[in-house]
């Protein structure tokens, strides 16, 4: 069992959790993820590692309440409560080395997993440019952390409530137009990563994206996380989660992400109805 040591609300339906997981924290690297199961009858969900402390034996998760399980985690689990299973670190870590000038793009909750990548790239001697964005000011978080690990930081909101009005691909395009960039990382909603990849491809800059396909076991056994990369089938969990953005079949990924929308909606509605009846 993994106790929750700290919980903080970051924004609407967005929480940060610090959880006891010493074995995971001892091995964690940027770009990896966890599989979490809340209780013995709970579903398994993948959550990207946002931060960790090997000495304290803790991992930090940023959870956006979208489906039934993430709502349950965000609303019903508090400091002192225990999560049944926290399995990881899973997936291949990011390739961290000296590239030169790099851009780290985080969209929405993707700001959390882009942070440790930006930090590691900065520690490796790169000039790190950060670009982060969200729909509105209330959904931005960890700007202070990103400022510490980026030499430059650009912030956007869709509604213009903070920073530049627009989406993250706009400052990305400006940066690529103005200077040489050696590599880009982008993490966020699939549609954001798709257009970040198209923008990078236009300028001939390699881009690494972290894919978020439907996933069950996280160890390559179920096959649910299939993605098409360079015309070949890959598993998001064991072959990824990071892939060259210009080689991803984005239309297929987006279609697969929508495969269970109706079931997910029904599960969440039933959960909220039951929870509401208890209040």
Closest CA to 134 of 67, 189, 201: 189
Residue 30 clears pLDDT 60, i.e. is over it? yes
Q: How large is the average pLDDT for residues 47-63? A: 95
Tokens of 156: 């956007």
Tell me, what's the pLDDT at 276?
66
Distance, in Å, from the CA atom of 230 to the CA atom of 245, rounded to the nearest integer, reads: 10
CA 17 to chain centre: 14
Tell me, what's the pLDDT at 278?
46
257-275 tens-digit pLDDT? 888 888 888 988 888 888 7
101-142 tens-digit pLDDT? 999 999 999 999 999 999 999 999 999 999 999 999 999 999
Residue 205 clears pLDDT 50, i.e. is over it? yes
Out of 3.40.50.300, 3.40.50.80, 3.30.565.10, 3.20.20.70, select the CATH number for domain 101-257: 3.40.50.80
Out of 3.40.50.720, 3.40.630.30, 2.40.30.10, 3.60.15.10, select the CATH number for domain 2-90: 2.40.30.10
Percent of the chain with pLDDT over 70: 99
Closest CA to 61 of 41, 38, 43: 38
Percent of the chain with pLDDT over 90: 81
Task: Locate CATH 3.40.50.80 in the chain.
Answer: 101-257
Closest CA to 113 of 155, 151, 59: 59
Task: Locate CATH 2.40.30.10 in the chain.
Answer: 2-90
Q: How large is the average pLDDT for residues 73-88? A: 94
Q: Is 101 exposed, middle or buried (0-12, 13-18, 19+ CB in 10 A)?
A: middle
179-204 tens-digit pLDDT? 999 999 999 999 999 999 999 999 99
With a CB cutoff of 8 Å and minimum separation 6, the contacts of 19 are 2, 3, 4, 5, 58, 59, 60, 61, 83, 86
Q: How large is the average pLDDT for residues 8-37? A: 95
CA 163 to chain centre: 21
Torsion, Cα of 143, 172, 226, 263 (10° steps): 60
Residue 279 clears pLDDT 50, i.e. is over it? no
Q: How large is the average pLDDT for residues 74-103? A: 95
Tell me, what's the pLDDT at 138?
94
Distance, in Å, from the CA atom of 70 to the CA atom of 45, rounded to the nearest integer, reads: 8
Residue 66 clears pLDDT 70, i.e. is over it? yes
Tell me, what's the pLDDT at 257?
86
pTM of the model: 0.92
Q: How large is the average pLDDT for residues 150-166? A: 96
Closest CA to 214 of 225, 198, 200, 228: 225
Residue 98 clears pLDDT 60, i.e. is over it? yes
Tokens of 142: 């960890």
HEC letters along the chain: CEEEEEEEEEECCEEEEEEECHHHHHHCCCCCEEEEECCCCCCEEEEECCEEECCCCEEEEEEECCCHHHHHHHHHCCCCCEECEEEEEECCCCCCCCCCEEEEEEEHHHHHHHHHHHHHHHHCCCEEEEEEEECCHHHCCCHHHHHHHCCEEEEEECCCCCCEECCCHHHHHHHHHHCCCCEEEEECCHHHHHHHHHHHHHHCCCEEEECCCCCCCCCCCCCCCEEEECCEEEECCCCCCEEEHHHECHHHHHHHHCCCHHHHHHHHHHHHHHHHHHC
State the chain's mean pLDDT as an integer.
93
């Amino acid at each position: 069992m993994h106790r929750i040591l700290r919980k903080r609300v970051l924004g609407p339906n967005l929480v940060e959790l610090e959880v006891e997981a010493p074995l995971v924290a001892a091995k964690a690297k940027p770009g990896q993820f966890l599989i979490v199961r809340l209780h013995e009858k709970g579903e398994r969900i993948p959550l990207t590692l946002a931060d960790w402390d090997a000495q304290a034996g803790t991992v930090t998760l940023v959870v956006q309440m979208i489906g039934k399980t993430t709502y349950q985690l965000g609303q019903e689990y508090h400091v002192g409560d225990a999560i049944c299973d926290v399995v990881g670190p899973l997936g291949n870590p990011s390739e961290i080395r000296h590239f030169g000038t790099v851009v780290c793009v985080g969209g929405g909750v993707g700001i959390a997993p882009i942070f440790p990548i930006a930090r590691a790239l900065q520690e490796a001697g790169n000039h790190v440019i950060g670009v982060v964005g969200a729909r509105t000011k209330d959904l931005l978080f960890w700007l202070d952390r990103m400022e510490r690990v980026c030499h430059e930081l650009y912030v956007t909101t869709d509604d213009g409530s903070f920073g530049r009005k627009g989406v993250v691909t706009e400052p990305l395009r400006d940066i690529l137009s103005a200077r040489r960039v050696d590599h880009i990382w982008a993490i966020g909603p699939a549609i954001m990563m798709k257009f970040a990849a198209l923008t990078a491809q236009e300028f001939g800059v390699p881009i690494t994206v972290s894919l978020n396909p439907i996933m069950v076991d996280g160890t390559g056994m179920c096959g649910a996380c299939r993605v098409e990369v360079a015309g070949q089938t890959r598993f998001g969990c064991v072959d990824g989660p990071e892939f060259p953005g210009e080689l991803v079949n984005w239309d297929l990924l987006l279609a697969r992400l929508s495969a269970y929308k109706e079931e997910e909606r029904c599960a969440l509605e039933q959960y909220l109805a039951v929870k509401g009846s208890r209040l």
